[in-house]
Amino acid sequence: MSDKGDYYSILGVGADATQQEIARAYRALMRSHHPDMDSSLGQANGTGQEPAQEAELLRIMQAFSVLRDPERRAAYDRKLNSSAPIIIPVRHGPGRSEPSGPAIRVTPVRWESGPWA
């Protein structure tokens, strides 16, 4: 599922839109983007649509198929909300006045050097 923007912005509705508003926005977009409604489109790929126009039409259809179903819309909303960063409170302990010990040096493992090489 490739998202170039979220489904709400593709359909041009808000996240609190009703099912009726989503359906109206979908029908209006389909009227303006459908190849049968625009006879000036060239025969680029045999379907009467340019690849970019076909991709836009598929994005509109995909957005509507998710947002029209209440269960899929709720799952999509949860996914959108979970992508926000989660703020985890961190408690800082008392600072140390002296260093805890020598620094640990981390070096890469060299598997090529050794008795088996």
* Model pLDDT, residue 35: 78
Whether the pTM exceeds 0.85: the reply is no
Walk me through the domains of the chain, giving residue ranges and CATH numbers: 7-82 (1.10.287.110)
Q: Which amino acid is at 70?
A: P
Segment among 42-51, 67-76, 104-113 with least mean pLDDT: 42-51
Element of type H or E holding 48: none
pLDDT digits (tens, 9 = 90+) for 57-103: 889 999 999 999 999 999 898 888 876 666 667 776 666 666 666 76
* Model pLDDT, residue 2: 43
Q: What is the C-alpha separation between 7 and 26, in angstroms, rounded?
A: 11
Which residues neighbour 76 within 8 Å (Cβ) at sequence distance 6 or greater? 7, 66, 67
The confidence band for 54, taking pLDDT boundaries of 50, 70 and 90, is confident
